[in-house]
Structures are given as structure tokens and as C-alpha cells.
Chains A and B, each alone.
Chain A
Amino acid sequence: MCEGHKALENDLLIDQQIIGLVNNGKIDAFGELVARYQVPVFNLAYSLLTNRADAEDATQDVFLRAYKSLHTYTGQGLFWSWLRRITVNICIRQAQSAKPIYCDDMDTFIDTDSEVCESIICSEELEELRTMIYRLPLQYRSLIVLKYYEDMSYAEISEILGESVSNIQVRLFRARKMLQESAKVYTL
């Protein structure tokens, strides 16, 4: 058994012990779960919402929702997978209700002055690429984040967003195209 797998099993065990305490009325133990997962929840929320204040609100909402629904977590699969689903749902709902962004707006975000960089992309260009990702409409940005930040499979994304795998594949293809066109670094 590899070290990574052992660590994963250890994490799972710790999570389940804490959840057991919380379900038995030890409310304060939930703080341990928050401490363990607040950073990944917040950074995922930030990637989806692209705004620190909104991401912080969403992070609190995620944990409050998780607390209320903790009894529904059966222990099948990682706790993080369960928490991530809540995070994505809350962030997408929050983004949709706050400020809807449509694909038609993309033209205004395209930066035509980006330089072509043949070598390993430098940090400034990574920053630029990140900005491009953040400017994508939510329906595309969410796919880029879930696939390339969270390393989720098409099937997992499909399940979490309630869409078909083929639809996810097509939209992800479009999202990559938008980024390639805007950055002009990765023109195939």
C-alpha cells in the first residue's frame, strides 16, 4: 500500500471519528472538521466565485449546510467529495443569483495583446491565464475549475452538475477554445 493511500485512509478514519462525535451531540467537534477543510473549501469557492468576500460567505454557508446535513453522510466515499458537492452547489447558486454572466460577454474579456510564449510559461502569464479563466462565464469556468483544479473526471462533474457526460465534454471543449483564443499562447 502506497504512502498516499495510507494517508487517505487515515484522513477518512479521522473524519469519520469526528463525524461520529458530532452526530453524538459533541457540537464543538464540528470545529475540527471546519479547521481541516476550510482552506480547500474556500479556495474552490474563490475559483468559482472569483471574489474573496463572496467566497468567504459561501465557505460559511457550506459548513452550516454540511452541519445540518451531516446525518445524511453515510461514510461511503471521502468526506471531501461530499463536502465538495455542497460547495459547488452553493457557489453556483450564489453566482447565478448574484450576477449572471453570459457567453456573449466574452468578447469584452479577450486580451488580444497577449504575447506568444514558446517556453515554460512564466508566472505573469500564469496570472494572465488565471484572469482569463476567472473571466469565463460561470457555465464554462465551473467546468475548467472542476476538471483542472479539482481533477475531477467527466463522470464526477456530470454527476455533481446533473448533466450528461457528453454535454460536459462539449462545454469543456468550448471552454478550452475560449481560453486558447483569448490567450493566443496555445493555438493548436
Chain B
Amino acid sequence: MTCEVYEDLIPVYVDGELDRQNAELVEAHINQCESCKDAYQQAARFREDISSALRMHQFKIDVVSAVVEQIQPKHSRTSAWVWIPAAAVLVLAVCLFAGLQLAPSKTASPGTLSGKHNPIPAPHINIAKADQVSNPTKHMERPIQLQSAPKHISKQPVLQILKAKQTVAIITAPAGSGQAQIIMKYTDNDRSDPQNDNQYPLAPEALPVPSPGQKIVAENEIVSISGRRLQRVCYRIIEDTDSEIRMEESHDNN
């Protein structure tokens, strides 16, 4: 090979990209040829200088927060704007549903709450005192103490309310953080049965957390339709005018 050929091979040799056979030929030649040895040294220096020039400035940067912010799910930044209206819609829907199913209307479809095989006749309103209902059968809802609704709740009973209790929901998550687990606890008068003191998570099991200054109130009522005892639960978001959380606070309304 001539020096011209070696001069073409030398930069590739410096890059470490020549195969072993050609690399050995180049090494042998530059040890014999001064001109090609100079070319090799210059090429090696050129490579070194290019690397140094490109590495002479190492810039610092911090894009961690910018990147992490962009990969976060979008809903977490808008949760407050989504959940508050959603809470209102949910409460309205539950109340409307309960009202439609249990309202004393002649056109109301019977049997909605009774199951497929046991239709209920048209509602018959029977005003009765709570203490007139006794010895509930096992399949019926357990009787609970009657409690007057708080003054700031507009409550218009449309059915015979045998017993009812209004409980302030326990919020287990901070306001605006998403959903809260609603746990209602109610007891009957019979303390001999320890199971009566259990906690019952009621559907819906989770409700949106109300905004600050509000709280969720669950009204749990035992109503009577043509002699059948049914349970109705209504959730409302009310203004939290009371700083005290009313839990397990109940009294007879009569």
C-alpha cells in the first residue's frame, strides 16, 4: 500500500474502527514512515482536541419539576372544580330518586322497592307514632331512634316516617382531596344485641368531599308503605353552621 492509502486509513485507525489486520498494517507502517507517523500524531491530536472542544462547557440545567408537572394526571389539578358540582348532582339525583320511588302518588309504579316477586300496592299513608312499631322482623331494617332534622335543613316528609335518624357523615379525607368514605353508625334501643352497635357503610360508599364550610348529612329514614317497612337514605350537602359534629346524637321526636 502507498502512503496515500495509509493516510486515508490513519483517521479510521485513530477512531479505533479498523479491523485487526488493517490496524496491524497501519501500526507497522507508521513505525517505518516518518511522514505517516506525523499524520498519525496530527490525527490523534485532532481527535483529542475535538473531544476537548465539545466537552469544554458542561451546562447545568434543572427540568425535573417542569417534566414531572407535565406527566402528572390532569384531573388532580382540577379536582375541586369537578367534585363540588359532582357532589351537588349526586345529592340531587339521590334525593330525586328516593322521592320518585316513595312519593305518595296515584300514578306511582308499585313494587319498585319490593323486588320482582313481591309487588307493593299503591302507597298508603299511615300516620303512626314511632313507638307503635315494634318487634321488627329480621328482614326489615332495624328500628332507629327518631331525630328531628336540624333547623337549617328543609325537610318535608312525604311519607309516614316511622323512625328516622339524621347523622353527620364522618369525613375521613381532607376537604377537596377527592372522595370521602362515608360511615354511618346507628343503633336501636336494644343494647342487648351487640351487633346493633355495628357500623354500616351505606351506599353510596363514597361521596365527594364537600368544599370548606360544608358538610354531608345523611338522612336515614324508616318509612312505611302499605305496611312494608323500607329504608330511605338521602344525602345532602349543607352549610356547616354548626362547628360541632353531631354524631350519635339522637332523640325521640315525639
In the assembled complex, the CB of B157 is this many whole angstroms from the nearest CB of chain A, namely 47
Indicate whether A126 sits within 8 Å of B56 (C-beta atoms), given known contacts A42-B61, A148-B47, A188-B39. yes
Task: Say which residue of B7, B45, B55, B64 sits within 8 Å of A38 (CB atoms).
Answer: B64
Task: Say which residue of B42, B45, B54 sits within 8 Å of A133 (CB atoms).
Answer: B54
How many B residues, CB 8 Å from partner? 37
User: When each residue 4-17 of chain B gets 1 if its CB lies under 8 Å from chain A and 0 otherwise, what string results?
Assistant: 00011001100111
Indicate whether A43 sits within 8 Å of B58 (C-beta atoms), given known contacts A27-B68, A63-B67, A64-B70. yes
- Let me know if A180 is at the binding interface, CB within 8 A: yes
In the bound complex, residues from chain A placing their C-beta under 8 Å from that of B39 are 188
- Among the 9-residue stretches A4-12, A52-60, A76-84, A95-103, the one with 4 or more Cβ atoms under 8 Å from chain B is A52-60
How many A residues, CB 8 Å from partner? 42
In the complex, number of A-B residue pairs with CB atoms less than 8 Å apart: 103
Alpha-carbon gap, A123 to B50, bound state (A): 12
The answer to whether A39 touches B61, judged by C-beta atoms less than 8 angstroms apart, is yes
User: When each residue 59-85 of chain B gets 1 if its CB lies under 8 Å from chain A and 0 otherwise, what string results?
Assistant: 111111111101111000000000000
- Let me know if B52 is at the binding interface, CB within 8 A: yes
In the bound complex, residues from chain A placing their C-beta under 8 Å from that of B54 are 47, 130, 133, 144-145, 148-149
B residues neighboring A (CB under 8 Å): 7-8, 11-12, 15-17, 39, 42-43, 45-47, 49-68, 70-73
Give 7 pairs: A residue, B residue, CB < 8 Å, sorted on A: A38-B61, A38-B63, A126-B52, A148-B47, A153-B17, A169-B12, A188-B43
